[in-house]
Amino acid sequence: AQKVTQAQTEISVVEKEDVTLDCVYETRDTTYYLFWYKQPPSGELVFLIRRNSFDEQNEISGRYSWNFQKSTSSFNFTITASQVVDSAVYFCALSEEDRGAQKLVFGQGTRLTINP
Amino acid sequence: EAGVAQSPRYKIIEKRQSVAFWCNPISGHATLYWYQQILGQGPKLLIQFQNNGVVDDSQLPKDRFSAERLKGVDSTLKIQPAKLEDSAVYLCASSLHWGASGVYNEQFFGPGTRLTVL
């Protein structure tokens, strides 16, 4: 069965510090997608990134970067120079394809607090 | 393009009462999902529709939960009777279509309905 583990339940850092959110996954599929979502206090899930299992290139988007390592089944997320607005719950998710539709399995989330 | 709409945004009921949630997906999206997110946990898929047919309802507690998508557009999720442990945010998501294998269909999420059962 698919599983996503986010071992860090809560992280608290001071503004401008770098912070890394860990994600480890389990799947028997050879084709799958990995995601990160942000859930601010308003509650809506905000899509951040999608990565497919055949693309192990790291990605950088502004202050955000993602490190995908198939060898360790990890998909970690780093925020550089964190800001108070980054405070939210972050979810890592794994999808499997089922007849063209994607089924998402989420981790338990990491609550990130950025203190001024 | 309008996003996924859900109503109500908040609902408070007493245990053993019934409740219904409504979802309107993005226009043209054939696949619709209902997720349950209990406080402190990640969302968990309850049921997935493709047009008006059920693709997966393996995690839906069918003794008390039901869902329908009669015309392949809007969907309703019902709980009858509610229990204390049903307190959660219920998220609806939709994706474009039943695509060919290997074609990615991104899920777009609505704002959710926060249910409190007293």
Whether B98 shows a pLDDT value over 80: the answer reads: no
Using a pLDDT cut of 90, give the percent of chain A over it: 69
The encoded tokens of residue A41 equal 């206090």
Number of cross-chain residue pairs from A and B with Cβ atoms under 8 Å apart: 69
pLDDT band for B96, please (50, 70, 90 cuts).
confident
Note the pLDDT of residue B111: 93
Which of A104, A105, A108, A111 to probe by mutation at the B interface, max B CB count within 10 Å? A104
Summarize the confidence of residues B41-68 as an average pLDDT.
Answer: 92
Whether A80 shows a pLDDT value over 90: the answer reads: yes
Of B43, B91, B99, the CB nearest to A100: B99
**β-strand partners of A52:** A33
pLDDT band for A64, please (50, 70, 90 cuts).
very high
Note the pLDDT of residue B102: 56
**Minimum CA–CA partner of B41 in chain A:** A108
Q: What is the DSSP track for B91-111?
A: EEEEES----TT-----EE--
The encoded tokens of residue A2 equal 């698919």
CA distance linking residue A11 with residue A21, whole number of Å? 9
Using a pLDDT cut of 70, give the percent of chain A over it: 95
Note the pLDDT of residue A39: 94
Helix (H) or strand (E) holding A37: strand A32-39
Using a pLDDT cut of 70, give the percent of chain B over it: 92
**Minimum CA–CA partner of B35 in chain A:** A104
Summarize the confidence of residues B65-89 as an average pLDDT.
Answer: 95
pLDDT band for B101, please (50, 70, 90 cuts).
low
CB neighbourhood size of A65 (10 A) = 17
CA A87 from chain centre, in angstroms, equals 14
A 5-44 residues inside an 8 A Cβ radius of B: 31, 33, 42-44
Mean of the per-residue pLDDT values of chain B: 91
Identify the CA nearest to A102 among candidates A35, A5, A39, A46.
A35
pLDDT band for A42, please (50, 70, 90 cuts).
confident
Note the pLDDT of residue B99: 53
Note the pLDDT of residue A43: 85
